[in-house]
Structure 1
Amino acid sequence: MRHTIYAIFFLLFCTPLMAQTAKDLSNQDYPYLEKLYLHLHQNPELSFYETNTAKRLAEELRQIGFQVTENFGGTGVVGILKNGPGPTVLIRADMDALPVVEETGKAYASKVTTKDEAGNTVGVMHACGHDVHMSVWTGAARTLAKMKSKWSGTLIMVGQPAEERSGGAKAMLKEGLYSKFPKPDYALAIHVSPTLAAGRIGYRKEYTLANVDFMDITVYGQGGHGAYPHTTIDPIVLSARIITTLQTIVSRETSPLEPAVVTVGAIHGGAKGNVIPNEVHLQLTMRSYSDQVRKNTIEKIGRICRGEAIAAGLPESKFPKLTMRPEETPSTYNDPALTERVVNHFKTTFGPAQIQEVEPSMAGEDFALFGRTEEKVPIFLFWLGTQEASMAEKAAKGDIQLPSLHSSLFCPVPEPTLKTGVAAMAEAALHLFKK
């Protein structure tokens, strides 16, 4: 009889206390977070226009006791939860979607269309997984609010606009994110992976994402009739020579040990097959990890454009015009000590088999800026698997090609993606709040 009483007492009182781990709470919260995810997925908004999305995230934070500031750095949201003395941990999620028509065929697929800034009607889709990021962000906030007895410090939740246009982080930092709110000791973020199996966590020390720079080049010439090319200086031929020579920056002027990419993604010039135009327009992206390679690449592009213009016989007044776009993103450098600390905790909490070291990516992420201010805040961005396990396995073997991020076919698996993301982000914060 005494044993039966002890067993009943244990089930009624001890088990609930033991269950209050981040993993258990994320599992319990999943129905709520799945509904939130579906809502965000079906109601995407473009960069700098995340008005309704930001309102929803602000309301989510208010409901669980955060002090919330809206419209910070545009549509940005900042939530503060003070819970005694201790470290300050910042968790960031990006809110914007892409001008992509969703073609996943899912019943909950986005059907949103809108006008872009050029007046064109475009579809809108969370093709980069920011709906997952926001749902995980909300779940982590809810979990940490429920576990206040387990940590001490200050939690900052940042809903950031315009990651896809590389302007949101810059705008929030410029408005005083680190001066008007507590300065973080650590900053955390996730990014979905289209190739990792759902339930897995990926990481990379040091450089994990690249410098990304955008450049426009106007190539001038002297137009005329296609029948008399000797009376012209053909900017199309000159552009072709420039495009070809630009590739030698990577293959012959950059160390093979230093990653770099130069891509000419657009070329526009001419209107008729028998008319040589006066100018051609090129659009480029340059990608690298180190700031020195970035600087050298930009300088070499200028040198090549000038040199080819001289070779074509153009006067200096008609040398190509190079314009850098204000959409640059610096490389994301995961602080080695912070990365090792959190990853070791992940391996202890989730098991080593669930944690995977991944290759660095040449994509860009403006979360990098959170670690590049004069405050030198250590940052860590980790990857969250979203793919069906069987599909991820086939892709790893090279049997299939999975849709990439920004694809109209990109389709995360909500479960266990959200559960894993919430538990991982909450565990990372709990671990960092320890003295």
Structure 2
Amino acid sequence: MSVSLSWRKPLAAALMLAAAGTQAATGLNERVAELAEAQADQLESTFKHLHAHPELGFQETETAKMVSKRLKKLGYQVHTGIGGTGVAAVLNNGDGPVVMFRSDMDGLPLKEDTDLDYASSKQVTLDDGSKVHVAHACGHDAHVSWLLGIAKVMRDTRDDWSGTLVLVAQPAEELLEGAQAMVDDGLYDQVPKPELLISAHVFPAWPSGTVAVRAGRRMAGSDQLDVTLHGVGGHGSMPQATIDPVVMGARSVMAYQTIVSRNVDPQKPAVLTVGASQIGEANNVISETGVLKLNLRWYEKPVRDQMIEAIKRETNGIALAAGVAEDKLPEYTFKGYSEPVYNDEALAKHAQGLLAEGLGKDALMLGFPPVMGSEDFPMLVAGIEDTRTLFMEVGGGPADVVKNYMATGKLPPMNHNPKFEISDPRRAITTAVKANSLLLLDALAPQ
């Protein structure tokens, strides 16, 4: 039986092209690693400076100045003051897609409790005259640092990609307001709309030097909600002549504890937290009003609606039972909002392959579950049809963090804890620079 061998030439050509592609990919991986490592000293220095000088949401003026100055020096077209303190930078590099990478800049209103020699001791005065400590207890100092590292890698690899890169340094993520503020302030009057948006966040739950990109649910949607209670004020010795918002607040807080457990399907993730109660100032004065500051977390919009409806039902019922007139029922003020973070399965799987090849399989963590924490970066592209998002988790813990967790069930202090710190920030940041640059280069690869 004779068989034609005419397929051999095209197959040989295809194999040669595949081999050339593999060699090119390997060479680019090495080039990205070299460019990231060459910046390690500067990026670590930047990180420590930012850590020692944190700024609250919408107050990131010095951070924004530093970012814009560095990006201008690299040749980016830089737009500042978007949404207050936001920065957007564009690098046009020929025909191709528009891809955006975003980092957040703001710190938290808490007092740092670490032994770091670059720990924050900063305090700021708020509009009401009160003073608060400020700390980078969520790693946004690392996020800004790796944004600058990525900017240089992408600038120095322009021969390997084609299209438009947009970098965003976003304010007020902790308030869940900064991304929407930038959009509302005309972000897309100044930069093109992206086809893909990538962002990343550091966590101490696994080692510095590792990253994770998993499909499906990654971070929850969230609302910041203020509930204002209206009562009747008076003297502490005459409670019968008042309607006490402290009591209404206490009853409401306790009533909220059953909303998730008795209203929401237990198979659907949800969290309702009362983060602050601000009612009254003096020992012997019953206040006229009070505010409860709530935070909601959810993955599905119907669950969100269910929680909001229950909050209003419980709070209004408590106010009416206390004798509040119907025209003075509680008010509900929605502030920060973010939709859930999901990774498309095909996109995540492709990213895993790229990162395993580019960083090594040992650097890729696959077992980290979704969390109820939130990220507002999806709001940058909410409503933009067909724009995809991809979220990467970056390790910031000690080398033995996973081993210790498996043995003891304990993790190091996590994000928003006064003792939060990134172990080996130099390695964590350079790893994030490599990983995110590889994803951007792939998304912008010439077709």
Q: Within the alignment, does 1:419 sit opposite 2:404 as a pair?
A: no
TM superposition shift of 1:21: 2.4
Residues 254 and 145 of structure 1: CA distance in aligned 2, closer, same or farther (over 3 Å): same
Counterparts of 1:313 and 1:120, CA distance in 2? 33
Contact persistence 1:178–1:184 (CA under 8 A): no
Partner of 1:205: 215
267-276 vs 403-412, which deviates more? Answer: 267-276
Aligned to 1:70: 80
Rounded Cα–Cα distance in structure 2 between residues aligned with 1:428 and 1:339: 11
State the match for 1:355 in structure 2.
364
SS of equivalent to 1:89: strand
Task: Note the 1:372-391 alignment, pairs <5 A.
Answer: 372-391=382-401
Q: Which residue matches 1:345?
A: 354
SS of aligned partner of 2:335 = coil
Equivalent residue, structure 2, for 1:264:
274
Contact 1:209 1:361 in 2 (8 A): yes
Indicate the SS of the match to 1:426.
helix
Whether the 8 Å CA contact 1:238–1:312 is kept in 2: the answer is: yes
Displacement of 1:114 in angstroms is: 2.5
Q: How far apart are 1:227 and its partner, in Å?
A: 8.6
CA contact (8 A) 1:370 1:377 kept: no
For 1:230-278, what per-residue CA distance to the aligned partner results, in whole angstroms no more than 9, with x for missing partners?
A: 7876655544443333223211211112111112233344678888766
Say which of 334, 345, 361 aligns to 1:325.
334
Assess if the C-alpha contact under 8 Å between 1:342 and 1:431 holds in 2. no
Q: Secondary structure of the equivalent of 2:99?
A: strand
Q: Could you tell me how far 1:65 is from its partner in structure 2?
A: 1.8
For 1:117-156, list aligned pairs within 5 A: 117-156=127-166
250-259 or 304-313, which deviates more: 304-313
Q: Rate the CA distance shift 1:20–1:171 in 2: closer, same or farther, 3 A.
A: same
The residue that corresponds to 2:416 in the other structure is: 406
Supply the distance in 2 between the matched residues of 1:94 and 1:109 (Cα, whole angstroms).
19
C-alpha separation in 2, matches of 1:417 and 1:54: 22
Give SS of 2:115's match. coil
Deviations 1:125-158 (A, max 9, x none): 2111111101111111111111111111111111
1:187 equivalent to 2:191? Answer: no
Matched residue SS, 1:93: strand
Which stretch shifts more, 58-67 or 87-96?
Answer: 58-67
The 5 A counterparts of 1:43-62 are: 43-62=53-72
Aligned-partner Cα distance in 2 for 1:273–1:224 = 12
* Structure 2 residue ranges without an equivalent (≥5): 1-23
2:321 maps to 1:304: no
Residue identity matched to 2:429 = L
User: What letter corresponds to residue 109 of structure 1 in structure 2?
Assistant: A
Residue identity opposite 2:313 in structure 1: R
> Given that residues 78 and 87 in structure 2 are in contact (C-alpha distance below 8 angstroms), is that contact kept between their aligned partners in structure 1?
yes
Determine the structure 2 residue equivalent to 1:96: 106
Partner in structure 1 of residue 443 of structure 2? 432
Could you tell me which amino acid in structure 2 is paired with residue 303 of structure 1? R
**Which deviates further from its counterpart, 59-68 or 134-143?**
59-68
Closer/same/farther in 2, CA of residues 193 and 233 from structure 1, 3 Å limit: same
Q: Counterpart of 1:8?
A: none
**Structure 2: distance between partners of 1:401 and 1:19:** 32
CA shift, 1:53, in A, is 1.3
> Given the superposition, is the C-alpha separation of residues 146 and 275 from structure 1 closer, same or farther in structure 2, using an over 3 Å criterion?
closer
**Match among 170, 179, 185 for residue 169 of structure 1:** 179
Percent identity (aligned): 37
Report if the CA contact (8 A) 1:333-1:368 is conserved.
no
Give the count of matched residue pairs. 420
Find the residue that maps to 2:129 and give its secondary structure. Answer: coil
Q: Which amino acid in structure 2 is aligned with residue 342 of structure 1?
A: A
Does the CA contact (< 8 Å) of 1:20 and 1:147 recur in 2? Answer: no
> Shift of residue 351 of structure 1?
3.3
The Cα RMSD (Å) is 2.8
The answer on whether the counterparts of 2:79 and 2:190 sit within 8 Å (CA) in structure 1 is: no
Give distance in 1, aligned partners of 2:152 and 2:344.
26
Q: TM-score, normalised by structure 2?
A: 0.85
Do the aligned partners of residues 270 and 114 (structure 1) sit closer, same or farther apart at CA in structure 2, a change above 3 Å counting?
closer
CA distance in 2, matches of 1:274, 1:110: 37
Separation in structure 2 between the aligned mates of residue 370 and residue 46 of structure 1, nearest angstrom:
20
Alpha-carbon separation, structure 2, partners of 1:64 and 1:270: 52
Letter in 1 for 2:417: S
* Residue identity in the other structure for 1:146: D
Residues 332-377 of structure 1: per-residue CA shift (max 9 Å, x gap): 2333433232223212322333222322221222102023123342
Report what 1:87 is aligned to. 97
What secondary structure sits across from 1:119 in the alignment?
coil
When residues 235 and 90 of structure 1 are mapped into structure 2, their CA distance, relative to the original with a 3 A threshold, is closer
Task: Give the letter for the 1:124 counterpart.
Answer: V
| Cα displacement (A) at 1:414 | 1.3
1:197 deviates by: 0.9
TM-score, length of structure 1 as denominator length: 0.87
Structure 1 position 283, deviation (Å): 2.4
